[in-house]
Amino acid sequence: MAEKEIVYVISDSVGETAEIVVKAVASQFNGGHVDIRRNSYVEDTEDLEEAILLARKDHSLIAYTLVVPALKEYLDKRAAEEGITAIDLLNPLMDAFVKRFNKEPRHRPGLMRRLDEEYFRKVEAIEFAVKYDDGRDPRGIARADIVLIGVSRTSKTPLSMYLAHQRYKVANVPLVPEVAPPDEIFTLRRGKCVGLIITPDKLNAIRKERLKALGLTSQANYASYERILEELDYAEKIMKRVGCPVINVSNKAVEETASLILDVLKMERSSNR
């Protein structure tokens, strides 16, 4: 079996970008059988020198993503001296950005990784919102950044998901007269919990539409005025016990309510300092 070709990937960050590009190119040659040897978090010329000598010994080439100018210049110079092909994967495009957009790059390694971390935080928040939706597991209440409480159809789930996309971990708890709320909501510190209320007329209309979508009669107790008033009265009492701010979601878009939630919690936390 023929030995794999070797490519040294050098980066002053993780090196994932360079490795992905090398794999994409390698896939065009003999099924992509290439041995990628990554040298990550290169900080000085000593780190570069080690990779250069290995590449020379293996008759390999180097693909690199170096945003620190001094490291790039050193690698280009030494690779030329050793007769090694060194491919710069970032700077040609960076130069094009400078010329076209008239802006200078930061020359700071790891910025892409920070963007990735933001993405993973958002995914984690979304998974959290799904796991602790509708009071499924009260253990999430203590771990949440925000806890939403309210009767059914006050947009708790859509708000949880919207805020999750902004990287907030949100748990929501339905308030139902027949079911005691979890003890955890009464021990939350100020600035974490928000109560959601709605006018009886609006809730009645929403619940009727919900029943219609489910193929059920609109006369069900779920949408009756008497039931709705009972639930809203119960929810108000619970919110007073919790001592949380309350937002009326009637006729408000999810985006508007989410913004209000963040504003009132910010004020709550500020006044609690």
Q: Report how far residue 159's alpha carbon sits from residue 165's, in angstroms, rounded to the nearest whole number.
A: 10
Task: Find all residues with CB under 8 Å of 222, minimum gap 6, and list them.
Answer: 152, 207, 210, 211
Check whether 60 is labelled as a binding-site residue: no
CB burial string 142-153: b at 16+ within 10 A, e below:
eebbbbbbbbbb
Partners of residue 147 on adjacent β-strands: 171, 193
Query: Does 151 count as an annotated binding residue?
Result: yes
DSSP 38: E
Residue 153 labelled as part of a binding site: yes
User: Is 155 annotated as contributing to ligand binding?
Assistant: yes
Cα 132 vs. chain centroid, distance in angstroms?
17
Residues in contact with 39: Cβ distance below 8 Å, sequence separation at least 6, in sequence order: 8, 9, 10, 11, 15, 47, 50, 51
Give the contacts of 67 (CB within 8 A, at least 6 positions apart): 12, 13, 90, 94, 105, 106, 107, 108, 109
Sign of the CA dihedral with 240 first, then 246, 251, and 253 last = negative
Q: Is 4 annotated as a binding residue?
A: no
List, as residue ranges, the binding site.
Answer: 150-157
List, as residue ranges, the binding site for ADP.
Answer: 150-157
